[in-house]
A and B are shown apart, each in its own frame.
Chain A
């Protein structure tokens, strides 16, 4: 059998996204390290650099740039592998890449020159330089171009394969991109129609609550946009790596459909302390949020079942023999597995955050920061690393050597130790009332504050260990991209069992699932949005001085 390989043209496109990903990791990670050092109280930033500048850089570069570039590059490769890509689509792939890159450079330029220290949520009435918002809009527009290419790829494949079900991974990519487009419409409207004219001075005031609400309409699905590519790897790549088959094609598709439906009409759970939103609608959106527990637990079940079935088929009959004999020495499995384990406390923390009363316990405390460093900065990123270990050498025509594999295992352990120290201390400090998103302060020597400092020192220790992990990961990436021995690295995609049950056709009824998604969004947002637009207090003029702009 001939080994599958992408054409050079394709590989170059997909790798370009990977280069931006790992440059972002280094830059954003360095900013994270600096933040933890400043917050320990033992270090001051040189050259008058503002704390909020590095905080914004960290959030935007890692939360928006690294993730979006990795996801789009990885998803392009999945589509290329499963449904193919035409030359014209590759050309549009490049357009999406360059539009996103230009947007990133513009936004980064503004942040680094202190013109946009508005953090990654860019809440009004803080006003950044207009170029920052233009940059963000370009990143989103570039990602839409990628989405259209992905939709077109599946459409062309479906036309050529009438009556066949679409390949699972192509289906998953399209779900993720539909979710992304529907969600980012909200933030695009906010940035282009509300904030940009106001930042340019064409409009005097802005409706603060409306911009925040539109941000979180986008902000929650954003975390699923990060997570779904990890799920793609868990469902459809890992079984192949451990020598097994897909557990259930139907279950995987259903989980993705549920995630599409329930990840958007839930943004209010980020605004539970927000005045101006009717509590009834907050309650409704909290209920919808809890629906996400279902596909999440379906995923947990499916993964354990994949591992157990594979192990038992290999002949391990004892209760946990299948578990003991998973390929722990293979970093392509080990890194994502650690990510899965981190998702247990990460997910549990998410349920606590979304529970209205308990949200008051943790709202705007550094618990939240600890929470998303477990979910996105451990679960998601370790899975991305796990993907990079085979994707990068596959694209560059090199091999993941045993030595690099071992370094990857060490990297995963370093990351786990660093994150356990940093995230746990963030969670505890949050429960003690420690605020998030704030520079070091002793708050005039309050008693409560004294209990926080030791946790902030622990966060700096964790931050140093994590940065060592980043350096090692960047080293592995450079090796895989340029120096590892030439050879062939498999692009692992799991197959269905021969006797697998047929996937019901309804799971691919796009009109139905997109229709329900839109209906749920309209239900959850229409009335509160009318309230927010009609009954908001007068809009706010822009504020420049709090972020050091004059």
Chain B
């Protein structure tokens, strides 16, 4: 971990940064959709 990566500044409620969370939940949502549509495709093909 680089020094630049770490800062001792504590976040307040106002400047809370949840960008990583947004990306993570998007990935979870995408994984669910991919699995669902893959199964749906299989259902249609049978």
Cross-interface CB contact of A312 among B1, B11, B32, cutoff 8 Å:
B11
CA–CA, A314 to B8, complex, Å? Answer: 6
Determine if A182 is an interface residue (Cβ-Cβ < 8 Å).
no
Cross-chain contact A316 with B42 (CB below 8 angstroms) = no
Cross-interface CB contact of A361 among B20, B21, B28, B43, cutoff 8 Å:
B43
Residues of chain B contacted by A23 (CB below 8 angstroms):
none
Cβ distance B28 to chain A, nearest Cβ, rounded Å: 5
Residues of chain B contacted by A313 (CB below 8 angstroms):
10-11
CA–CA, A301 to B21, complex, Å? Answer: 7
CA–CA, A66 to B16, complex, Å? Answer: 41
Q: For chain A, what secondary structure do more than half of its interface residues adopt (helix, strand, loop), or is it mixed?
A: helix
CA–CA, A325 to B28, complex, Å? Answer: 20
Residues of chain A contacted by B29 (CB below 8 angstroms):
297
Q: Tell whether A361 pairs with B39 under 8 Å between CB atoms, given A309-B16, A351-B32.
A: yes
Cross-interface CB contact of A308 among B4, B10, B18, B42, cutoff 8 Å:
B18
Total interface residues in chain A, CB < 8 Å:
37
Cross-chain contact B13 with A499 (CB below 8 angstroms) = yes
Cross-interface CB contact of A348 among B1, B10, B23, B36, cutoff 8 Å:
B36
Q: Which of these binds chain B: A77-85, A161-169, A352-360?
A: A352-360
Total interface residues in chain B, CB < 8 Å:
31
Cross-chain contact B28 with A319 (CB below 8 angstroms) = no
Cross-chain contact B43 with A304 (CB below 8 angstroms) = no
Cross-chain contact A300 with B28 (CB below 8 angstroms) = yes
Q: Tell whether A304 pairs with B24 under 8 Å between CB atoms, given A361-B43, A361-B46.
A: yes
Contacts of B1-46 to chain A: CB distance below 8 A? 1, 4-13, 16-21, 23-25, 28-29, 31-32, 35-36, 39-40, 42-43, 46
Determine if A478 is an interface residue (Cβ-Cβ < 8 Å).
no
CA–CA, A304 to B18, complex, Å? Answer: 9
Cross-chain contact A308 with B5 (CB below 8 angstroms) = no
Q: Please encode chain A, from 296 to 335, with 1 for each CB lying within 8 Å of some chain B CB and 0 for all others.
A: 0100110011011100111111111111110000000000
CA–CA, A307 to B19, complex, Å? Answer: 12
Cross-interface CB contact of B31 among A318, A323, A345, A431, cutoff 8 Å:
A345
Chain B residue at smallest Cβ distance from A319 = B20
Cross-chain contact A305 with B19 (CB below 8 angstroms) = no
Q: Tell whether A304 pairs with B20 under 8 Å between CB atoms, given A313-B11, A315-B7.
A: yes
Cross-chain contact B6 with A317 (CB below 8 angstroms) = yes
Chain B residue at smallest Cβ distance from A361 = B43
Cross-interface CB contact of A357 among B8, B24, B32, B43, cutoff 8 Å:
B43
Which residues of B pack against A, CB within 8 Å? 1, 4-13, 16-21, 23-25, 28-29, 31-32, 35-36, 39-40, 42-43, 46
A-B contact pairs, 21 of them (CB 8 A): A300-B28, A301-B21, A304-B18, A305-B21, A307-B21, A308-B17, A309-B11, A309-B18, A313-B11, A315-B6, A315-B8, A321-B5, A321-B6, A344-B32, A348-B35, A348-B36, A355-B36, A355-B40, A358-B36, A358-B39, A360-B43
